[in-house]
Structure 1
Amino acid sequence: MQTILYARVSTADQTIAHQRKQAEAAGFKIDQVVADEGVSGVSTVLSERPQGRRLFDMLRAGDVLVVRWVDRLGRNYADVTETVREFMRRGIVVRTVINGMTFDGATTDPVQMAVRDALIGFMAATAQAQAEATKEAQRAGIEHAKERDDAYLGRKPSYTREQLDDVVARLGRDEPVLSIAKATGISRGTVYRIRDNRAEAEAAIARWTE
């Protein structure tokens, strides 16, 4: 049996090493890391990604697939739910670093199955909703940034694109601000500012990266 971490990074600010560090800090002993870089979880389903395709070939019954959260597998509800169910049908256990969720197809208890399937659907739907909300906020932030004098960038944000995305995802799951600050390494004040003015947070990133 092997434990494989699948990581997906879509921007330069995100790192595979960070996702592995998070997994190991959560107690996972990773045997191998499979990762796709510069790949969108919205437009490219797992089976169409170069390294995502490898997972379907290399994972065997009894193996454990670890992901930071289900949004690493994808941000489309139908695709993510079918992907997780396909892995379970093959006897593969899917586990998440965030929230410590376990999806195992071995259970035959109907109540446990119903709860498991409901959680899969909820998490997949949340991933898609967050992707759509992020896209809209980024659009608003970029437009906001364009309205500012090009010569004035303002203070450089104290967070990266990866940290911003992580904060937004955690806020979407109603995690406490203090917990988010500890998990992401940024101050509580910054988390509050991101929560209260998402468009300006996106604008700040856009002014320094666009």
Structure 2
Amino acid sequence: MVTTSYGYVRVSAKDQCEDRQLIALKDFPVDEENIFMDKLSGKDFNRPQYQKLLRKLHRGDILVLKSIDRLGRNYDEILNQWRIITKEKRVHIVVLDMPLLDTRAAGKDLTGTFVADLVLQILSYVAQTERDNIRQRQKEGIAAAKQRGVRFGRPPKERPPEFEIIRNEWLNRRISSREAAKRLHIAQDTFLRWSHES
């Protein structure tokens, strides 16, 4: 059976650099034509290159990642993908910066496989917990800032002095809301919102 090494690279944004991941995969070595890269968030696995890679993987192949968070960011999803790749597809996974996450080392040894699975679950749990904590800290920070009177978003637009006159014309059906907004140099939605707030 021919074993092929594949690599997966993910960066969250188009302006992030993938060079470190590519260098590490090529050093493994993974041939350049077998490296798949997505420039997308890791929140789920609906990524075109990742899905293409999954279709390429066959029993005995090796999937190489620079780090586990390149696979994804969602705890449950990472565990599910790990199961699909290692148990259903029977493909080895090598995480370069975490030697314990190298299923080749497990071989036929059930203990080795158990250790790799356990380490992955712990890492994924820690990553998910940290993300939850960050979200909670952000939420608490925003709430505290609001209590101190900090306003978020753009400051509300000042209503022009002639707003009430033009609004009355609109209320008396002498002009349309579109015409009123045009005269005030604002969006029609803004004019209607202000009119209902008054």
User: Which segments of 5 or more consecutive residues in structure 2 lack a partner in the other structure?
Assistant: 151-198
Task: Report the TM-score, using the length of structure 2 for normalisation.
Answer: 0.59
> Is 2:106–2:113's contact at 8 Å kept on the other side of the alignment?
no
Give the alignment of 1:80-95 within 5 angstroms.
Answer: 80-89=78-87, 90-95=89-94
* In structure 1, distance between residues paired with 2:109 and 2:13: 41
**Structure 1 CA distance for aligned equivalents of residues 105 and 90 of structure 2:** 6
Q: State the percentage of identical aligned residues.
A: 26
1:15/1:91 Cα in 2 relative to 1: closer, same or farther (>3 Å)? same
CA distance in 1, matches of 2:6, 2:135: 30
Look up the equivalent residue of 2:119 and give its one-letter code: L
Give TM-score scaled by structure 1 length.
0.56
Q: CA offset at residue 135 of structure 1? A: 5.3
Task: Give the counterpart letter for 2:62 in structure 1.
Answer: V
Which amino acid counterpart does residue 87 of structure 1 have in structure 2? I
Q: What SS does the corresponding residue of 1:98 show, helix, strand or coil?
A: coil
Contact residue 92 and residue 105 of structure 1 kept, 8 A? no
Inter-CA distance 8–57: structure 2 relative to 1 (3 Å threshold): same
Aligned counterpart in structure 2 of residue 74 of structure 1, from 54, 68, 72: 72
Aligned position for 1:199: none
Is residue 2:41 matched to residue 1:40?
Answer: yes
CA-based RMSD of the aligned residues comes to 2.8
Instruction: Give the whole-Å Cα distance in 2 for the aligned partners of 1:131 and 1:60.
Output: 33
The letter for the 2-side match of 1:97 is L
Offset at residue 54 of structure 1 (A): 0.8
What's the secondary structure of 2:29's corresponding residue?
Answer: coil
Bigger relative CO (Cα 8 Å, ≥ 6 apart) = 1
Correspondence 1:47-196 to 2 at 5 A: 48-89=46-87, 90-100=89-99, 101-104=101-104, 107-133=107-133
- What residue identity is the alignment partner of 2:52? R
Q: Which residue of 2 aligns with 1:23?
A: 25
8 Å CA contact retained: 2:42, 2:70: yes
Q: Give the Å deviation of 1:6.
A: 0.4
Q: Say how many residue pairs are matched.
A: 138
Task: Give the structure with higher Rg (CA).
Answer: 2
Contact 1:94–1:103 (8 Å) recurs in 2? yes
Distance 1:110 1:2, change over 3 A: closer
Partner SS state of residue 95, structure 1: strand
